[in-house]
Amino acid sequence: MRKILIVGAGQSGLQLALGLQSQGYEVTLMSNRTADEIRSGRVMSTQCMFDTALQHERDLGLNFWESQAPRIEGLGVSVAAPDGGRAIDWVGKLDGYAQSVDQRVKMAGWMETFAQRGGQLVIHGAAVSDLDYFSRSYDLVLVAAGKGELVSMFGRDASRSPYDAPQRALAVAYVHGLGPRPEHPDFDAVRCNLVPGVGELFVMPTLTTGGRADILFWEGVPGGPLDAFQGVKDPAEHLSLTLELMEKFTPWEYARATRVELTDAGGTLAGRYAPTVRNPIGRLPGGGLVLGVADVVVANDPITGQGSNSASKCAAAYLAAIVEHGDRPFDEEWMQSAFDRYWNTAQHVTKWTNAMLGVPPEHVLNLLGAAGELQPVADRFANGFNDPSDFENFFFDPEKTSAYLAEVAGG
Ligand SMILES: Cc1cc2nc3c(=O)[nH]c(=O)nc-3n(C[C@H](O)[C@H](O)[C@H](O)COP(=O)(O)OP(=O)(O)OC[C@H]3O[C@@H](n4cnc5c(N)ncnc54)[C@H](O)[C@@H]3O)c2cc1C
């Protein structure tokens, strides 16, 4: 059977490894951490995944936590007004529910399953020289190592990367004790709170190592008042800063957060990175070729909550491309075509996410405002998180936005 090496045991690497394994491929997975280290380590994401991405997991029988994780049935948008109230506030209903399963739970669990099913798991932080050596004994080497150092093997694609610096400072806190959203306590939703010129606060339920919890996730414009977490090492200090900023900029969220406490000592994360699209094929010093997967090749800012969704979609696209290719060599042409297949969906995510990082133009503000009056607009916007290609139809072009709003308003 064909031998495949996957470097990196995150959403894409594990999903692909387990998928290939179930098709009879001989898969080696290289991870720089053990399952226990991941489970007892720091949170890595907010990992909210929508229906299409979750379906790829279901298709492979990997939805182990679906019955325990909260079902996120809506997605709301609030825009802060200068008086401390909200200029805009609505919630759209998702056609299929979303879920967030703490990556510490999922990656540790999937890694153990991969090993139990006979997969070769190597705990080692791979360097380029390792890949050079190993590439000779595998039919295909996939680099699914996220935003780590191995990305340096893949050249930045400037034509697809409008930003060369981080556009947001990120600060995450996992908490217990958050009160329900008073407007809609009957169903779970992600709430995106936009604070014009300052940043965004995302609040969503998750399943973490200690059961159900909620995530408070600030995205701050660099250099602004939310860009305050650098150098904060103490988790308790991180949480009190998160709450202080909520009281100041999103008092309606603070009102339900007065009794929260951190889920665990690893329940906070802060950092930043520049959104970057890279060339998908890496050339090793010895001449071998490797194919980049998910964040390695397309890393978007988490403002639209798409990275894990995209990692799932990338893994599904590559799995199909590998299986369809049968016994033929995984050459440069095949690698490019596998990436192009993924880019068909990824390009929409990148375009929309990069647009959301900028100052919203007037027609987008009109659209967000109209969603408060017209429920079908709210619902369509919410479902765009599941399939961002739909934004082409009503989001980017002012004429298409007005035509769409006129159509909905006309009934
Ligand atoms: C704050 C924040 C919030 C986010 N929120 C969301 C969200 O709500 N929804 C969403 O869809 N996405 C979200 N994302 C993005 C999402 O987490 C990532 O895009 C996704 O995890 C990428 O998956 P991946 O498989 O490419 O890489 P990763 O999940 O990063 O996995 C890469 C793995 O490779 C390992 N590794 C790295 N280098 C090496 C090496 N040299 N050798 C061996 N192993 C190595 C790493 O330790 C890691 O385990 C968020 C990201 C952040 C930072």
Q: Are residues 216 and 170 in the same domain?
A: yes
* Cβ-based burial of 130 (10 A; exposed 0-12, middle 13-18, buried ≥19): middle
pLDDT value of position 161: 98
CATH number of the structural domain spanning residue 334:
3.50.50.60
Specify if 246 maps to a domain: yes
Nearest CA to ligand 1 atom 21: 308
For ligand 1, say whether the CB of 170 is within 6 Å of any of its atoms: yes
Indicate the residue among 251, 271, 291 that finishes a domain: 271
Give the other-Cβ count within 10 Å of 157's Cβ.
14
Identify the helix (H) or strand (E) that includes residue 87.
Answer: strand 86-100
Q: Are residues 123 and 173 in the same domain?
A: no
Question: CA dist 346 to 159, 291, 342, 401, Å?
Answer: 15, 16, 6, 22
For ligand 1, say whether the CB of 126 is within 6 Å of any of its atoms: yes
Question: How far apart are alpha carbons 120 and 6 in whole angstroms?
Answer: 10
User: Which residues is 31 bridged to in the sheet?
Assistant: 123
Q: Are residues 132 and 194 in the same domain?
A: no
CATH number of the structural domain spanning residue 81:
3.30.9.40
* Cβ-based burial of 32 (10 A; exposed 0-12, middle 13-18, buried ≥19): middle
For ligand 1, say whether the CB of 309 is within 6 Å of any of its atoms: yes
Cite the DSSP H helix spans in 72-196. 103-116, 128-134
Specify if 63 maps to a domain: no
- Pair type for strands 3-7 and 26-31: parallel
Indicate the residue among 234, 253, 271 that finishes a domain: 271
Which residue matches tokens 């909210």? 48
pLDDT value of position 411: 74
Residues of the chain with pLDDT under 50: none
pLDDT digits over 61-119, tens only? 999 999 999 999 999 999 999 999 999 999 999 999 999 999 999 999 999 999 999 99
Query: Which residue range is the domain that position 368 belongs to?
Result: 362-410
Specify if 207 maps to a domain: yes
Identify the helix (H) or strand (E) that includes residue 332.
Answer: helix 332-357
Are the CB atoms for 321 and 334 separated by under 8 Å?
A: yes
Specify if 124 maps to a domain: yes
Closest ligand 1 atom to the C-alpha of 309?
A: 11
Q: Are residues 381 and 394 in the same domain?
A: yes
Specify if 59 maps to a domain: no
Q: Are residues 32 and 120 in the same domain?
A: yes
Closest CA to 196 of 313, 282, 79: 79
Q: Are residues 153 and 296 in the same domain?
A: yes
- For 146-288, strand residue ranges (E) read 169-176, 188-195, 199-208, 211-220, 261-262, 268-271, 276-277, 281-283
Specify if 51 maps to a domain: no
For ligand 1, say whether the CB of 13 is within 6 Å of any of its atoms: yes
Closest CA to 204 of 213, 194, 212, 214: 214
pLDDT value of position 5: 98
pLDDT value of position 377: 98
Specify if 62 maps to a domain: no
Give the other-Cβ count within 10 Å of 360's Cβ.
15
Q: Are residues 157 and 9 in the same domain?
A: yes
Q: Are residues 181 and 231 in the same domain?
A: yes
Closest ligand 1 atom to the C-alpha of 170?
A: 1
CA of 37 relative to ligand 1 center, distance in Å: 15
Q: Are residues 182 and 224 in the same domain?
A: yes
Q: Are residues 106 and 181 in the same domain?
A: no
pLDDT value of position 183: 86
Please tell me the total count of domains within the chain: 3
Indicate the residue among 342, 357, 372 that finishes a domain: 357
pLDDT value of position 24: 96
For ligand 1, say whether the CB of 77 is within 6 Å of any of its atoms: no
- Pair type for strands 261-262 and 188-195: unpaired
Residue 271 phi, psi dihedral angles, 5° rounding: 175, -170
Q: 29, 36, 46: which to mutate for ligand 1, most atoms within 8 A of CB? A: 46
Q: Are residues 220 and 286 in the same domain?
A: no
Task: Map residue 408 onto helix, strand or coil.
Answer: helix
Q: Are residues 109 and 148 in the same domain?
A: yes
Question: How far apart are alpha carbons 116 and 83 in whole angstroms?
Answer: 57
Closest ligand 1 atom to the C-alpha of 217?
A: 1
Specify if 309 maps to a domain: yes
